[in-house]
Structure 1
Amino acid sequence: MESLGRKIRQRRQEKGLTQSQLAEGLVSASAISQIEADKINPSYKLLLQIAERLEVPLDYFLTETGEYLEQATSHKLAKTFIMAKEYSNAVPILDNLLATGAGDELDLMMDLSTCFIHLDNLSTVKELLEKAMTMSLKADDHRAHVWSLHRLGLVYYKQHNISLAMHYWQRAYDSLLEMGVDDSFLKAEITTNLAITYNRLGHYDQSTHLFLNSQDLLKNSSNLYHLATNYLGLGLSLYGKKEYQQAQEYWQEAVTLFKSLDHIHYSIQVKENFGILRGELGDYAAALEILQECLRQYQELGSDKQLSNTHAEIAKVLLRLERDEEAAEHVEHAFALCEPNSMYHAQCYNVRSLLHAYRQENEAAIEAALLGAEVFRTLDMVHDYHKMRLHVSDLFKKLGDYKSSTEILEETQQYIQHFFKEKGILL
């Protein structure tokens, strides 16, 4: 099987382009060299840009990207472990991806640093974050640079080195302003951490001021945990200032918010993502067991929107197990529960198309897929729209209608070009 890098190099040479010419305005020539040598993999967006410059449809490359997709799935699995707080399971996956040069090195390093912080491997995480700071500056990734500083502050705080923690959090805050990073939640988190350090040092006026600033940044936030933490901190600062009545009021607000915190939906969503990934990795029995458990929990909560999506995901797994009658029942449940013209509605059409295709009802499969693609288009979900249209093209091929298959690909490519052009993005 010809690798992705070799296909890009072959097509570039056919077009008579140098690596520098292919790279111009996209990435560095050395990056193209590494991609062609299969040392690194391009992002989906970059691959789309390369395909456009080499005048081929995206699926010209995607038909031979098994390893690329496997690496993407591995990183996705690692992120799911992180969300589930199973950091020790995520570490070997991330280590392997870094060692093989697969994926975005900076993103992998940041995920690995998250794991090591929670595993208290603080000496290793400091080395990672210092390297990430340098890399992020070279890559002009300002947000990653601020995050690196922010996390270094967290490392030193965990080591009870308050002065160094404050130093790095102050640097993070200053860099965020200087670099124009537009992230109010990140700014609020750094501000809260600075407030906590000032509070611990007994500088109650400063900590109160910072807690209030953070609270202002979070006024439209739905992050109840962060809001509650701020109320708790404000209470502590005001108590330090001997303003006991106000301290009591803020503590009462904190208690109320902490009581209202509901992490149930979040935990089920994490579990559902893990179940989906087990299915992608071929462990269908485990995937089905996890997803059915999520279904029961959503039913108990009366969460119809999430129920719709879980029914659809269960149907996908059942089709892989060749249990199409059961899959059909779940598809119908999914349609009954989903909101019209939503991403969940498009997902339902997608699974209905897969069901028809499994039953070799290719014309019905095409109709369902086109309806789903249209919903994705109206939602500006270009990546999902593109995947659905590729599915339609494949279905036309199965019918022997190569003309329609080609037309679908051409129309899709034209739409994607027009979409990004309207957004002011040069492909």
Structure 2
Amino acid sequence: MARADRTTLARRIKARRLELGLTQREVAGDDFTRGFISQVENGLIDPSLKSLEIIAQRLGTPISYFLEDNDAADPVAVEQSIRRTYELLETDLEGAAAASATALSGAEKLGNPSLLARARSGAAWVAYNKSDFSEAADLFAAAAEAHRTAGNTTQMLRALNAAGSAAHRAKDYAAAEEYYTSALEAVPLIHEPDLHDHLRVLVNLGILLTHQGKSAEAKNILEQALSLSAIHKEYYRYGEVYHALGVNYRRLGFPNKAIEHYQLAFQFYEAVQEPLNAAHALLNCGNVYMETGDYAEARRLYRQTLDIYEELGETEHAANARAKLASVAWHEGCPQEALALADAALQHLTDEKERGRMFVIKARVLAKDEAQVTFAVDLYRQGLALLGPSADSNDVAEACYELGDLLMRLDRAGEASPYLARAADLYRRLKG
């Protein structure tokens, strides 16, 4: 029996899987990894006969179907299928998937790297629009490799950028960083690089690094992006860039720079009429003022944020803003206002840590009422449980100390001991 070449084999396996509506994980089962099936389908590896027998059985297809080499392809038909894929992406995703499978099948038979790259990109966009971001990242990366073979470095850069975006959406941050970095490395290889492409990769990488907590690297990358934006009047993800810089300056201990960039993000979002993002920027700006002890300014910004969220009908975000106002009220010595705001916030808060903070605020207020002390102990415990056993902040240390002290006043020293010990440990670590 003559065995089909690797690309034909890959095409047939993928086409049959899609026809049956199976995922790569379902085909992999317990015998293989999803990555192995992805590599097989992208023609990157040649499975052993034993592996192919298992795959064929899982696809309910005779192994001969995958092995026999009797195909032919029409380049004009492949070109038409690629165009059809993009035409259907927005209106008929299943139709686009069928067209992309046909295009990929024909392109793999023909072996033309340029055609193959475009067919893989089409299939990648189908996967992306189906929210199968891992599959999309694999296909974009395979498209980039085909563009490299074809000598089209600009398109290779764009495919790598798309692969990074898909991997980022899949929360595979290491892969996303690798793709974006490879895209940046391609810039000097292009005779006349499109600076807009360069900008997009910088922005995407900077925001990824922000999500990874790599603030120093992210800040440098995003500042480069801002410089390019100013030169070329290109405002790609401009509000997000300012917002991310605010996040990174805050983490790096530069509150004034953080406030400046959050305010710039707010101004941009207001100008382009994106009120929800504008409110998020204001909220974070308020957080910095809160951290620096400027409670009056934090209160003003949180109130403005709450008004925007309520006008937009964003119930959960509004609850978060109320939670922030409750913290301000407590720090300003307004316990009853803090209690009322915490109760209102808890009606719609879903974030466990924010709920934990509200329980702690309620506990602090009620602990001052002798009739409510036992209830306050329960609230402290609920709050700390929601904040988590590994929570590491000054607020948690204070709550542990307050609960321990309250239990000591109630002559419950045995219960107080672990909370006081945790508070001491946290204070020691936080002071370095």
**Which one has more relative contact order, counting CA pairs under 8 Å at least 6 apart?**
1
Taking structure 2 as the reference length, the TM-score comes to 0.41
Q: Which has the larger radius of gyration?
A: 2
Taking structure 1 as the reference length, the TM-score comes to 0.42
